[in-house]
């Protein structure tokens, strides 16, 4: 773990062992150049702690880019809580309370919100001691609620932009779209894609959401290990990160990748492999920025839901058109172009 921390390009890592829950808390502060570090809290079981730390670090880096690209004056951070797989719900609740107090103790160095493995209801519990540093509480508790539908709207926008580039129109009727991961974002996205008339394929390691959508919408499913070989127009990763790598990119049978998962590429060269295969890649930290944009706007600037939706669509469309332009004029990959645009916003700021 020491070498991971030393080699990281971020600012600091706060580590706490919560003995009562046998859980490890990693708060990775990647950059506070634009403002306080803000990022979700992920709760997951990991096979080892290095993996959890690395996840926190990479996700925090992604948040720096996400805020910069969205022109929101926050820095990048993320919290990963690595829990034992058998943590019961009462012990989990007590852990959330202690975690809230821990976030509060840092006086606004780090603000947090929902992420993989946490909900708005969890944010309500964390906020008991963690307020005012907690975003995305339920509406009943005064927050803006679940970011999932807004993230899904941003992904839908990205898919439409990809369709415009590939097929000359945003219409998704009859387009074959493969959604990997039917969680809080995936299921909202599936409903939107269904309304748009897309032919939807779904995949998840968990059987329950697959059965639900088979029954409800008659959707077909693809086994988790077969998603990278399944012919489709657009592949939509909405599960955990690091799903694409050199090997599976070479077997992909899609024309575009646009999804909600953070850190979709195992490493930056994968963006070049995708480009070489003429697969259009919508950079993850652009495609999945909708939830963060909407929740912050509603809670900090008083946007209505309708305003938030408009802003999500507008921000993502503008960013993507700038990214297309830069990648065409400079011949760089979509990921590189997105990174450069975010980096320009970061370095344009006067150092504090
Ligand atoms: N999980 C969100 C993301 O990855 C983070 C977030 C949500 C931050 C809501 C603030 C508010 O973008």
Q: Could you tell me the maximum CA-CA distance found in the chain, to the nearest angstrom?
A: 57
Structure confidence at residue 352 (pLDDT): 47
Please give the tally of structural domains in the chain.
2
Instruction: Give the residue, out of 28, 113, 262, 283, with the most ligand 1 atoms within 8 A of its beta carbon, to mutate for a pocket test.
Output: 113
Contact assessment for residue 322 and residue 283, using Cβ atoms and an 8 Å cutoff: no
Structure confidence at residue 307 (pLDDT): 98
325: which residues sit within 8 A by CB, 6+ positions away?
Answer: none
125 and 179 share a domain?
no
Q: Give the CATH number, domain containing residue 330.
A: 3.40.50.720
pLDDT confidence tier of residue 351, bands split at 50, 70 and 90:
low
115 and 241 share a domain?
no
Residue 291, ligand 1, Cβ within 6 A: yes
| pLDDT digit string, tens, across residues 291-315 | 999 999 999 999 999 999 999 999 9
Q: What is the mean pLDDT of residues 317-330?
A: 95
pLDDT confidence tier of residue 317, bands split at 50, 70 and 90:
very high
336: which residues sit within 8 A by CB, 6+ positions away?
Answer: 268, 271, 327
177 and 198 share a domain?
yes
121 and 191 share a domain?
no
| pLDDT digit string, tens, across residues 155-204 | 999 999 999 999 999 999 999 999 999 999 999 999 999 999 999 999 99
Structure confidence at residue 110 (pLDDT): 98
Structure confidence at residue 349 (pLDDT): 66
Alpha-carbon distances of 118 from 150, 193, 293, 337, rounded to whole Å: 16, 25, 18, 31
Ligand 1 atom having least distance to the Cα of 62: 4
Nearest CA to ligand 1 atom 2: 40
78 and 119 share a domain?
yes
60: which residues sit within 8 A by CB, 6+ positions away?
Answer: 10, 28, 29, 30, 37, 39, 76, 77, 78
How far apart CA 294 and CA 300 sit, in angstroms, is: 10
Q: Measure 281 CA to ligand 1 centroid, in angstroms.
A: 21
Percent of the chain whose predicted confidence (pLDDT) is above 90: 94
Residue 136, ligand 1, Cβ within 6 A: yes
Residue 147, ligand 1, Cβ within 6 A: yes
pTM: 0.94
Which range of residues forms the domain containing residue 99? 2-64+74-137
Contact assessment for residue 154 and residue 287, using Cβ atoms and an 8 Å cutoff: yes
128 and 257 share a domain?
no
218 and 326 share a domain?
yes
Residue 113, ligand 1, Cβ within 6 A: yes
Instruction: Give the residue, out of 295, 298, 299, 308, with the most ligand 1 atoms within 8 A of its beta carbon, to mutate for a pocket test.
Output: 295
Domain boundary at 86, 113, 137, which?
137
Handedness of CA 188, 336, 293, 305 (dihedral sign): negative
Structure tokens of 284? 């993850």
Q: Would residue 73 show up in a list of annotated catalytic residues for this protein? A: no
312 part of a folded domain:
no
Structure confidence at residue 350 (pLDDT): 54
172 and 125 share a domain?
no
């Amino acid at each position: 773990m020491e070498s991971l921390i030393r080699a990281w390009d971020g600012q600091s890592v706060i580590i706490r062992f919560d003995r009562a829950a046998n859980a490890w808390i990693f708060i990775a502060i990647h950059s506070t150049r634009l403002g306080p570090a803000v990022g979700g809290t992920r709760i997951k079981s990991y096979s080892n702690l290095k993996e959890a730390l690395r996840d926190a670090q990479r996700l925090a880096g992604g948040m720096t880019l996400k805020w910069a690209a969205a022109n929101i004056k926050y820095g990048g951070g993320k919290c990963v809580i690595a829990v034992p797989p058998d943590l019961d719900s009462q012990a989990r609740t007590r852990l959330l309370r202690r975690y809230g107090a821990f976030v509060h103790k840092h006086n606004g160095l780090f603000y947090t919100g929902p992420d993989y493995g946490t909900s708005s209801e969890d944010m309500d519990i964390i906020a008991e001691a963690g307020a005012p540093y907690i975003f995305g509480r339920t509406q009943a508790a005064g927050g803006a609620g679940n970011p999932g539908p807004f993230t899904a709207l941003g992904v839908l926008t990205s898919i439409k932009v990809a369709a415009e580039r590939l097929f000359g129109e945003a219409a998704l009727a009859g387009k074959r779209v493969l959604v990997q991961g039917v969680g809080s974002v995936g299921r909202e996205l599936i409903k939107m894609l269904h309304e748009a008339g897309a032919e939807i394929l779904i995949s998840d390691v968990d059987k329950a959401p697959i059965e639900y959508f088979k029954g409800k919408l008659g959707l077909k499913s693809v086994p988790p290990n077969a998603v990278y070989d399944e012919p489709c127009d657009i592949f939509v990763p909405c599960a955990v990160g690091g799903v694409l790598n050199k090997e599976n990119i070479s077997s992909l049978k899609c024309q575009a990748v646009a999804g909600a998962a953070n850190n979709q590429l195992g490493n930056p060269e994968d963006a070049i492999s995708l480009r070489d295969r003429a697969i259009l890649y919508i950079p993850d930290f652009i495609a999945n920025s909708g939830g963060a944009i909407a929740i912050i706007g509603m809670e900090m600037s008083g946007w209505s839901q309708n305003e938030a939706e408009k802003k999500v669509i507008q921000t993502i469309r503008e960013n993507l058109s700038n990214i297309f332009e830069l990648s065409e004029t400079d011949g760089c990959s979509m990921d590189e172009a997105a990174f450069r645009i975010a980096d320009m916003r970061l370095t344009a700021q006067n150092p504090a």
